[in-house]
Amino acid sequence: MTISGKARLAGVIGWPVAHSLSPRLHGYWLSTLSVDGMYVPMAVQPGDLAAVLRTLPKMGFRGVNLTVPHKEAALGAVDEVGATARRLGAANTIVVDDDGRLHASNTDGFGFIENLRQSAPGLDLRAAPAVVIGAGGAARAIVAALSDAGCPDIRLVNRTRDRAEALAGDLGGPIEIVDWPARADCLCDAGLLVNTTSLGMIGQPPLDLSLDKLDPGTLVTDIVYAPLETGLLVAARARGNPVVDGLGMLLHQARPGFEAWFGVRPEVTDELRHHVLAGLGRRSP
C-alpha cells in the first residue's frame, strides 16, 4: 500500500484508544482494496473532543469513528446529527463533507442486523419475539434496529428495571420490560436471544441464564467477541441452537464509514475475520 500526498485520512477517537481493533480492520480494507488512504488511532481526552473534531477538516480528514467515552458528547460538537444517532443519543461515525461540515451517524444497529443477515440468512425477525439482555448503549441500538426491522415483540431484560424502562420510554415500539428474576421464563416462543451486556466477556462474570425453556430453533447471538464463543454461545450450541458471535457486528458497523471516507464499498469476508481475530491473538473456528 502506497500513501501519496493525496491520501484520504480517517481514524478512530477514544480515551483510551490503544485497544481498538478499528485500525486493523480498516487497514485491511485499505490494503486489499488498494486505497490511497490512512486510518489512524487518536487518543483524545474528553475535554478536548470538540476542539479536535473542529480541527479535522483543517487537517484534511474525511472523518472518524468514535469510541468510549465520546459517543454521546460528540452530538453537541458537530454540524448535523443523523436521525438514528439523534434517536439513540450517541454517534459512532463522523463524516466531513466537502465544505468542512461534520455529520454524525450511528451504525451500530446496522452492523447488528447485517451480521445476522450474513450469518443467519434464513432468520425472519418479523416472525417471532426477540429477547434482549441488557439496557446499555449497545442494547439501545439493537432494540431500535429490531423494532425498525419489524420484530413484533421485544422483551427487554435488565438487572435494573429503571434503566430498561428509560430505554423503552425513549425508543417506544413493541418493547416489553421483563424483570431479571423472570429472564429464563420469557425465552419461550422467542425467535432470537441477544446478550448486549459485558457478562461473559474475558475478565467479567458469566451470564447467569438458563436456556431450558428456549426453543431448539431459536437463534442465539452475543455482541461480545472476546472470547469469540462466550459461555452463552457454548451452552446454546451444545443444546443444538444456531449461534452467531459478536465479531460480525463490529465488522459490519464499519462499512458505511469506510465507504463515505474512502469512496469504496468494502465487504465482510472470512479473510477479514481471520485478520481481525489475529489482532486478538485468536483464530476463528
Active-site amino acid positions: 71
Neighbours of 55 (CB within 10 A): 11
* Residue 152 near residue 171 (C-beta atoms within 8 A): no
The alpha carbon torsion through 95, 143, 172, 77 (nearest 10 deg) reads -20
CA–CA gap between residue 47 and residue 25 (Å, rounded): 27
Indicate the residue type of 183: R
User: Grid coordinates standing for 148?
Assistant: 425498525
Cα torsion angle, 100, 29, 16, 162, sign: positive
On the CB side of 219, CA atoms within 13 Å amount to 22
